[in-house]
Chain A
Amino acid sequence: MNSCTDCLSRNTCQSADKPMENYIRQLPRETAHHRVEGQSTKCGFGLQGVCCRLCANGPCRITPDAPRGICGANADTIVARNFLRAVAAGSGCYIHVVENTARQLKNTGLYKDKIRSEKALNHLAELLDVTGADKYDLCVKVADKVLSDLYRPEYEPMELVEKLAYKPRVQRWKELGIMPGGAKGEVFNNIVKTSTNLSSDPVEMLTSCLRLGISTGLYGLQLTNLLNDVVLGDPVIRSAPVGMNVIDPDYINILITGHQHSLFTSIQDRLLEEDVVEKAKAAGAKGFKLVGCTCVGQDLQLRGAHYTEIFDGHAGNNYISEAVLSCGAIDAVLSEFNCTLPGIEPVCDELKIKQICLDVVAKKANADYIPFNYETRQADGDRIIDEIIAAYKERRGNVPLNLFPEHGNKNTLTGVSEGSLKEFLGGSWKPLIDLIAAGKIKGLAGVVGCSSVAYGHDTLTAELAKELISRDILVLTAGCSSGGLENIGLMTPEAAELAGPNLKAVCKQLGIPPVLNFGPCLAIGRLEIVATEIATEMGVDLPQLPLVLSAAQWLEEQALADGAFGLALGLPLHLGVPPFITGSKLVAKVLTEDMVELTGGRVIIDNDGKSAADTLEAIIEEKRKALKI
């Protein structure tokens, strides 16, 4: 018998998730994991950030024979410019998310829609110093407060920075002159800076990265979470299934990808209404289910306690979305932002999966674009549902199923947030601080950010997380790193066995895993709230905490903007691969060395999990020593 396995069993990249690695290798179609090999020859100039294509004279590349581009820009200028451009774009992404989220909250107020957490609303109102006639009015006022800051010109400082940020940090930022102006204006201004023959000052541009980091972190991350909590409900700690086992082929399954959970709320609610369920049944399904993928799935999982009926669980991170679609039981992809990989398009075409996009910034070539519009959301939602039912009818039975029910696990701890964790600890951070002080927990590590595949899917993230917990360092995750770590079981209570003796005892006593899942990358903002609250309680500044960050497998420009926030907060930030900066000795030095003097933070680059853990552990030990604990 002729077999085509040879041409398909091309090498795929390694994954921390071995069952998934095998599943992907045997897929009858190409995924990102397959494409790694073909892209394994990297452009060295690109890697080092010294390829400049800002003008028609380019691309210019730096070599020993050609240390300057045609315009005269040297490696420092080229690298800093490219880097600032990336940070500005990344900031733009998160600012777009918070802008839409604030608009959702405002509309919720204006249309007197469902508010899932008044507690969150009141907390936010208090934080922002806003009062309102009633809860709806309060929604509008809170949202306006946020929006007016975002829309401020770049030369006007944003009002809420001082309310949101930790005082000692604000003080330092003022000294450094990096208090951000209007968040959108900052993005605009810095993009201008990086254009052809504009700024050539690498240090000024790096400083601008910090400013963008602050606006990204406080607004794009922290505020997005807090605004969403009002509309979508507070996270509640619970146990949930993860991985491809969450997919139930008896339902019409909708894969959601993106970062803007609030754009789904109305459709999400509608899918449970009787007339819609009847439509599903008429088509032969038991009803509808949302399957999580990428960060929006993580966010839904985080708040899953409010959505048990419609949400079956999170399947995995961005880089398994092609595999998840390959199971055949997904009938539609509803997307609104990244990380919706272009690679899903041929898979969707082949498997007749309907693609619908709600936000033009993430418009997929083959997707129907049905822009989210608050006024018409009901009618649009019904239209989307009808399209999905049509796709279901057309494809089911005609498209082979390739389910993977043994993938993942059923008992991942989720729902961890600054609020739920504090509550879990009895309403105070003191128990956690005591555990840290007593050395039961050596320190905290935020292993956050993305998933990447070029050097292995989640391999470094997993190796690092395991190394850290084995050293009694409690790992907090947010972003696609969570998706990877939960699928390999590091967030199940049994993972306590992998922890060092002290942390293991703590985990067993509290019934928690050694890796705590905060959900989407947006929740990096939550981690930072946790850090700030702990610092406040301890009466120290953030850089003094035995706390480190790692975006081990950072992928995108957004991660760089997040990272810039981490640096502005004064935290050590580990990256697996350099963000295309090593071509400039100056930029590399500022980020990895001089930053300590500026903010207290610094970048650590290491693609080896063990040695990175060594470095991070040493930093934690050093900080403990300084705190005399």
Chain B
Amino acid sequence: MKRIFIDPAKCDGCKNCSLACMESHRQDGGRGLYTLDLTDPVNQSRNRIISDGMGGYRPIFCRHCDSPDCANTCMSGALEKNLETGLVTYDKDKCAACFMCVMNCRYGVPAVSPDRTRIIKCDFCAHLEEGPACVRACPKKAIEVREV
């Protein structure tokens, strides 16, 4: 079971993780940060970097919780905790867009898609062999994948 560990003290708020996330999940077929549409809400990042107001940053990334509020409250079966990988997976075809998960995630992680038909949530970049794009993009190594 893997989890992205966060060291907020190392975060500089550069948002490279957010852009890497957006790039990793873009749906327009394009590749490369140069052409990523930064104004299209469809491309929103699954992680967020929030200023603590004192010069520091608080990265909010999906924890793929041991007891995930989102999957526990999902009424369509779209969100499931995979006990082998530890990941909370999301199947948008099953999702009924009821947003129970949005209401129940105490950390405010799953976001409603702009068209309100699905949610946007970390999938640990399941499509990338090398693992989550955000982690590789962090110049400060404030986030890293660790076994738990």
Chain B residues 33 to 53 lying within 8 A of chain A, measured CB to CB, are: 33-45
Cβ-neighbour of A47 out of B14, B33, B40, B45 (below 8 A)? B33
* Binary per-residue interface labels of chain A (45-67) against chain B in the complex, 1 for a CB within 8 Å, 0 otherwise: 10110100000000001111101
What residues on A are CB-neighbors of B138 within 8 Å? 41
In the complex, B79 has a CB within 8 A of chain A: no
Q: Is the CB of B38 within 8 A of A75?
A: yes
Q: Is the CB of B39 within 8 A of A44?
A: no
A50 to chain B, nearest CB (A): 6
* Binary per-residue interface labels of chain A (6-20) against chain B in the complex, 1 for a CB within 8 Å, 0 otherwise: 000000000000000
Cβ-neighbour of A43 out of B14, B34, B42, B43 (below 8 A)? B14
Q: Is the CB of A48 within 8 A of B139?
A: no
Instruction: Name which residue of chain A comes closest to B16, CB basis.
Output: A41
* Binary per-residue interface labels of chain B (95-114) against chain A in the complex, 1 for a CB within 8 Å, 0 otherwise: 00000000000000000000
Instruction: Name which residue of chain B comes closest to A47, CB basis.
Output: B33
In the complex, A583 has a CB within 8 A of chain B: yes
What residues on A are CB-neighbors of B36 within 8 Å? 44, 48
Instruction: Name which residue of chain A comes closest to B138, CB basis.
Output: A41
What residues on B are CB-neighbors of A577 within 8 Å? 34
* Binary per-residue interface labels of chain A (22-40) against chain B in the complex, 1 for a CB within 8 Å, 0 otherwise: 0000000000000000000
A126 to chain B, nearest CB (A): 46
A577 to B32, CA, bound (A): 11
Q: Is the CB of B43 within 8 A of A64?
A: yes
In the complex, B137 has a CB within 8 A of chain A: yes
A47 to B19, CA, bound (A): 11
What residues on A are CB-neighbors of B34 within 8 Å? 47-48, 577-578, 582, 605
Chain A residues 93 to 124 lying within 8 A of chain B, measured CB to CB, are: none
Cβ-neighbour of B44 out of A45, A50, A64 (below 8 A)? A64
In the complex, A42 has a CB within 8 A of chain B: yes
What residues on B are CB-neighbors of A65 within 8 Å? 41, 44
Chain A residues 246 to 264 lying within 8 A of chain B, measured CB to CB, are: none
Chain A residues 585 to 623 lying within 8 A of chain B, measured CB to CB, are: 585, 605
In the complex, B15 has a CB within 8 A of chain A: yes
Q: Is the CB of B19 within 8 A of A44?
A: yes
A564 to chain B, nearest CB (A): 20
Q: Is the CB of A41 within 8 A of B35?
A: no
A297 to B44, CA, bound (A): 49
A42 to B20, CA, bound (A): 10
Cβ-neighbour of B38 out of A41, A64, A605 (below 8 A)? A64
Instruction: Name which residue of chain A comes closest to B39, CB basis.
Output: A67
What residues on A are CB-neighbors of B38 within 8 Å? 44-45, 48, 50, 62-64, 75, 583
Given A48-B34, A577-B34, CB of A64 within 8 Å of CB of B139: no
Which among A44, A48, A50, A65 has the highest number of chain B CB atoms within 10 Å?
A44
Q: Is the CB of B33 within 8 A of A64?
A: no
Instruction: Name which residue of chain B comes closest to A607, CB basis.
Output: B32
Cβ-neighbour of A62 out of B39, B45, B137, B139 (below 8 A)? B39
Q: Is the CB of A45 within 8 A of B19?
A: yes
A190 to B8, CA, bound (A): 41
What residues on B are CB-neighbors of A75 within 8 Å? 38-39
What residues on A are CB-neighbors of B39 within 8 Å? 62-64, 67, 75
Q: Is the CB of A61 within 8 A of B43?
A: no
Q: Is the CB of A64 within 8 A of B41?
A: yes
Q: Is the CB of A63 within 8 A of B18?
A: yes
A42 to B139, CA, bound (A): 9
What residues on B are CB-neighbors of A43 within 8 Å? 14, 16
Chain A residues 423 to 465 lying within 8 A of chain B, measured CB to CB, are: none
Which among A50, A67, A582, A585 has the highest number of chain B CB atoms within 10 Å?
A582
A587 to chain B, nearest CB (A): 13
What residues on A are CB-neighbors of B14 within 8 Å? 43
A41 to B140, CA, bound (A): 10
A80 to chain B, nearest CB (A): 15
Given A42-B33, A44-B23, CB of A61 within 8 Å of CB of B15: yes
A65 to B44, CA, bound (A): 8
A75 to B18, CA, bound (A): 18
What residues on A are CB-neighbors of B18 within 8 Å? 63
A254 to B37, CA, bound (A): 49
Q: Is the CB of B23 within 8 A of A64?
A: no
What residues on A are CB-neighbors of B37 within 8 Å? 585
A63 to B43, CA, bound (A): 9
Chain B residues 45 to 92 lying within 8 A of chain A, measured CB to CB, are: 45
A67 to B20, CA, bound (A): 18
* Binary per-residue interface labels of chain B (104-138) against chain A in the complex, 1 for a CB within 8 Å, 0 otherwise: 00000000000000000000000000000000011
Q: Is the CB of B16 within 8 A of A64?
A: no
B116 to chain A, nearest CB (A): 15
B12 to chain A, nearest CB (A): 11
Q: Is the CB of B44 within 8 A of A582?
A: no
Chain B residues 15 to 35 lying within 8 A of chain A, measured CB to CB, are: 15-16, 18-20, 23, 33-35
What residues on A are CB-neighbors of B44 within 8 Å? 63-65
A42 to B23, CA, bound (A): 13
Which among A61, A62, A585 has the highest number of chain B CB atoms within 10 Å?
A61
A363 to chain B, nearest CB (A): 30
What residues on B are CB-neighbors of A67 within 8 Å? 39
A75 to B37, CA, bound (A): 11
Given A50-B38, A65-B44, A75-B38, CB of A45 within 8 Å of CB of B139: no
Smallest CB-CB A-B distances: 8 pairs: A44-B19, A64-B41, A44-B33, A41-B139, A582-B34, A64-B44, A67-B39, A62-B38
Sampled A-B contacts (27; CB under 8 Å): A41-B137, A41-B138, A41-B139, A42-B33, A43-B16, A44-B16, A44-B19, A44-B33, A44-B38, A45-B19, A47-B33, A48-B33, A48-B36, A61-B15, A63-B15, A63-B39, A63-B45, A64-B39, A64-B44, A65-B41, A75-B38, A577-B34, A578-B34, A582-B34, A582-B35, A583-B38, A605-B34
Q: A44-B36, A62-B39 are in contact. List 10 more A-B contacts (CB 8 A).
A: A44-B16, A44-B20, A44-B23, A47-B33, A47-B34, A48-B33, A61-B15, A63-B18, A63-B44, A585-B37
